[in-house]
Amino acid sequence: MGYVFLGLSILLGVSGQLCVKVSNGFKVIKPSIAAFGLFIICIYFVSLSTRYLETGVVFAVWAGLTIVSTALLGIFVFGESRSKRKLFSILSILAGVVLLKLV
Protein backbone atom coordinates (compact mmCIF):
# COMPACT_ATOMS: atom_id res chain seq x y z
CA MET A 1 0.00 0.00 0.00
CA GLY A 2 2.96 2.29 0.67
CA TYR A 3 3.98 2.19 -2.97
CA VAL A 4 0.46 3.12 -4.07
CA PHE A 5 0.56 6.20 -1.82
CA LEU A 6 4.07 7.00 -3.03
CA GLY A 7 3.02 6.70 -6.67
CA LEU A 8 0.03 8.97 -6.09
CA SER A 9 2.22 11.52 -4.36
CA ILE A 10 4.64 11.53 -7.31
CA LEU A 11 1.79 12.03 -9.79
CA LEU A 12 0.33 14.82 -7.69
CA GLY A 13 3.74 16.46 -7.25
CA VAL A 14 4.46 16.42 -10.97
CA SER A 15 0.97 17.76 -11.69
CA GLY A 16 1.57 20.54 -9.20
CA GLN A 17 4.86 21.40 -10.90
CA LEU A 18 3.11 21.58 -14.27
CA CYS A 19 0.51 23.91 -12.77
CA VAL A 20 3.32 26.13 -11.47
CA LYS A 21 4.74 26.35 -15.00
CA VAL A 22 1.33 27.17 -16.51
CA SER A 23 0.54 29.71 -13.77
CA ASN A 24 3.17 32.06 -15.24
CA GLY A 25 4.74 32.93 -11.91
CA PHE A 26 1.41 32.62 -10.03
CA LYS A 27 -0.13 35.34 -12.21
CA VAL A 28 -2.83 33.03 -13.59
CA ILE A 29 -5.24 32.24 -10.76
CA LYS A 30 -6.67 28.77 -11.59
CA PRO A 31 -3.38 26.94 -12.12
CA SER A 32 -1.94 28.75 -9.09
CA ILE A 33 -4.73 27.49 -6.84
CA ALA A 34 -4.46 24.02 -8.41
CA ALA A 35 -0.71 23.94 -7.72
CA PHE A 36 -1.16 24.67 -4.02
CA GLY A 37 -4.00 22.15 -3.72
CA LEU A 38 -2.05 19.45 -5.53
CA PHE A 39 1.02 20.03 -3.35
CA ILE A 40 -1.03 19.78 -0.15
CA ILE A 41 -2.58 16.48 -1.26
CA CYS A 42 0.84 15.29 -2.49
CA ILE A 43 2.41 15.82 0.93
CA TYR A 44 -0.54 14.05 2.55
CA PHE A 45 0.13 10.95 0.42
CA VAL A 46 3.86 11.16 1.14
CA SER A 47 3.03 11.09 4.84
CA LEU A 48 0.79 8.06 4.34
CA SER A 49 3.53 6.21 2.47
CA THR A 50 5.91 6.68 5.41
CA ARG A 51 3.61 4.47 7.48
CA TYR A 52 4.56 1.52 5.27
CA LEU A 53 8.04 2.34 3.94
CA GLU A 54 11.29 3.71 5.35
CA THR A 55 11.28 7.49 5.54
CA GLY A 56 14.64 7.90 3.80
CA VAL A 57 13.56 5.70 0.92
CA VAL A 58 10.20 7.46 0.60
CA PHE A 59 11.68 10.92 0.36
CA ALA A 60 14.55 9.90 -1.92
CA VAL A 61 12.24 8.07 -4.33
CA TRP A 62 9.60 10.82 -4.18
CA ALA A 63 12.06 13.65 -4.75
CA GLY A 64 14.09 11.81 -7.37
CA LEU A 65 11.19 10.59 -9.48
CA THR A 66 9.38 13.91 -9.19
CA ILE A 67 12.49 15.73 -10.42
CA VAL A 68 13.07 13.27 -13.26
CA SER A 69 9.42 13.31 -14.35
CA THR A 70 9.23 17.09 -14.23
CA ALA A 71 12.48 17.46 -16.19
CA LEU A 72 11.31 15.00 -18.86
CA LEU A 73 7.94 16.74 -19.16
CA GLY A 74 9.76 20.05 -19.49
CA ILE A 75 11.76 18.61 -22.38
CA PHE A 76 8.89 16.89 -24.18
CA VAL A 77 5.93 19.17 -23.40
CA PHE A 78 7.48 22.62 -23.05
CA GLY A 79 10.38 22.18 -25.47
CA GLU A 80 13.08 22.83 -22.88
CA SER A 81 16.71 22.02 -23.64
CA ARG A 82 17.87 18.42 -23.76
CA SER A 83 21.60 18.80 -23.36
CA LYS A 84 23.86 15.83 -22.74
CA ARG A 85 24.58 17.17 -19.25
CA LYS A 86 20.86 17.35 -18.41
CA LEU A 87 20.19 13.84 -19.71
CA PHE A 88 23.21 12.48 -17.80
CA SER A 89 21.91 14.18 -14.64
CA ILE A 90 18.48 12.61 -15.12
CA LEU A 91 20.05 9.17 -15.55
CA SER A 92 22.21 9.74 -12.46
CA ILE A 93 19.15 10.56 -10.36
CA LEU A 94 17.37 7.45 -11.65
CA ALA A 95 20.43 5.31 -10.89
CA GLY A 96 20.60 6.73 -7.37
CA VAL A 97 16.93 5.99 -6.72
CA VAL A 98 17.31 2.41 -7.99
CA LEU A 99 20.49 1.82 -5.99
CA LEU A 100 18.92 3.19 -2.82
CA LYS A 101 15.93 0.91 -3.24
CA LEU A 102 18.19 -2.12 -3.78
CA VAL A 103 20.07 -1.53 -0.53
Ordered per-residue pLDDT tens for the chain, 103 residues: 999 999 999 999 999 999 999 999 999 999 999 999 999 999 999 999 999 999 988 999 999 999 999 999 999 999 999 999 999 999 999 999 888 877 7
Alpha carbon distance 57, 101 (integer Å): 7
Query: What pTM, to 2 d.p., does this model score?
Result: 0.89
Give the pLDDT confidence score for residue 102 in this predicted structure. 79
Question: Which residue, among 14, 81, 9, has the nearest Cα to 51 in the 3D structure?
Answer: 9
Alpha carbon distance 8, 45 (integer Å): 7
Give the pLDDT confidence score for residue 101 in this predicted structure. 78
